[in-house]
Structure 1
Amino acid sequence: MKPIDYRELQPEHFERLLLLANTVHGDNYMDQSSLEAYWEAGFDNQINASWVALDGEKLVGFRLTLAAGNWQPDKWCSPTLWRLPENDVCYFKCNTVDAEYRAYGIGSKMLSQSVQSAARQSARGGLAHIWMSSPGNSAYKYFSKCGGELVKEHPGKWLENVINDGYNCPVCDSGCDCVAAEMLLRFD
């Protein structure tokens, strides 16, 4: 494998990112308008906190990160348990790596890039909802290895997306019973 090129997410990556997102996470996981909103929310102080990984022209991974203050904690968040002010916490929306490129450190490198960008934006930590049903629970293992700490588990977090957005969970036969691990990664 040749060296992977890491770049800040730009609109020229959107079409390839959407294809990878919906292939890995299931149909209707993300659309153009939601991706545009995530991309815009990733900026603060003219710094972009979202990254992509490229093998030549092939987009093999992406990390969407919403800048601190540019996202709203919802019922699946537990800010009183974070021990950081809400406005000091960015949101790690999604980390995705093409199946052929997993286990090469691409996800960790994109997370590192996002952490550096978010810290330059003045974030002191980042929150993620980790998919506990990832193959071999690899998402939880990877995020824990990177320093993420479990805050709380949330069964059924993505069921609303199935009902309201037509999302098709890649592991559940009907609906979505997957558990989300609310995890916090501190930057200091």
Structure 2
Amino acid sequence: MKNIDYRELQPEHFERLLLLANTVHGDNYMDPAALEAYWHAGFTNQINASWVALDGDKLVGFRLTLAAGNWQPDKWCSPELWPIPATEVCYFKCNTVDADYRAYGIGSKMLKLSVQNAGKQGARGGLAHIWMASPGNSAFKYFSKCGGELVKEHPGKWLENVINDGYDCPVCDTGCDCVAAEMLLRFD
């Protein structure tokens, strides 16, 4: 494997990121408008918390992180159970690595880079909704290994995306019954 180059997410990466996102997570997982909104939400004080991993010109991974204060907890969040005020929690929207590049530490490296920059932005922790239906439940295992703590499980979190956005879950035949694990990663 070549050396992987890690860079802060920029608009020049958007087209390749969308291709990888929709290939891995299913059609209509993300569109250009949503990606641009996520990118803007990743900034505070000119510090970018979102990252990409490149092998030459090939985008092989990305981590979208929304800065603390730039996202709102929704019905799938339980801030009353968090040991950190919601205003000091960033949101780990998505971590994706190309199937041919998994198990090389790329996802963990991007998480560390996002945590560093989110900390510089003032966050003391990060929240993620982990897809429990990932192959071998690898997403939950990975985030737990990185220090993430389970807060609560949310069945059917992505069903609204199926109904409203045309999202095509890669594991469910109709709709989406996948469970999201609400997990918090403390930075201290």
State if a TM-score over 0.5 links the two structures.
yes
- Secondary structure of the 1:114 match is helix
Q: Do residues 40 (structure 1) and 20 (structure 2) align?
A: no
Q: Per-residue displacement from partner, 1:7-44 (whole Å, max 9, x unpaired)?
A: 00000000000000000000000000000000000000
Q: Do residues 160 (structure 1) and 165 (structure 2) align?
A: no
| C-alpha separation in 1, matches of 2:2 and 2:65 | 26
What is the identity, as a one-letter code, of the residue corresponding to 2:120? R
RMSD: 0.3
| C-alpha separation in 2, matches of 1:2 and 1:31 | 29
| C-alpha separation in 2, matches of 1:84 and 1:119 | 13
**TM-score in terms of structure 2 length:** 1.00
- Secondary structure of the 1:13 match is helix
Q: Do residues 111 (structure 1) and 119 (structure 2) align?
A: no
Paired-residue identity, %:
87
What is the identity, as a one-letter code, of the residue corresponding to 2:121? Q
| C-alpha separation in 2, matches of 1:83 and 1:97 | 30
Give unpaired runs (5+ residues) of structure 1.
none
| C-alpha separation in 2, matches of 1:12 and 1:106 | 20
Shift of 1:83: 1.3
Q: Do residues 139 (structure 1) and 139 (structure 2) align?
A: yes
The aligned residue for residue 18 of structure 1 is 18
**1:14-93 mapped onto 2 (5 Å cutoff):** 14-93=14-93
- Secondary structure of the 2:59 match is strand
| C-alpha separation in 1, matches of 2:89 and 2:45 | 15
Shift of 1:176: 0.1
The aligned residue for residue 121 of structure 1 is 121
The aligned residue for residue 2 of structure 1 is 2
Shift of 1:70: 0.1
**TM-score in terms of structure 1 length:** 1.00
| C-alpha separation in 1, matches of 2:19 and 2:182 | 26
Q: How many equivalent pairs are there?
A: 188
Runs of 4+, deviation exceeding 4 Å: none
What is the identity, as a one-letter code, of the residue corresponding to 2:152? K
Q: Do residues 179 (structure 1) and 184 (structure 2) align?
A: no
Q: Per-residue displacement from partner, 1:41-100 (whole Å, max 9, x unpaired)?
A: 000011000000000000000000000000000000000000111110000000000000
Shift of 1:130: 0.1
The aligned residue for residue 94 of structure 1 is 94
Shift of 1:170: 0.1
What is the identity, as a one-letter code, of the residue corresponding to 1:15? E
- Secondary structure of the 2:75 match is coil
| C-alpha separation in 1, matches of 2:141 and 2:53 | 21
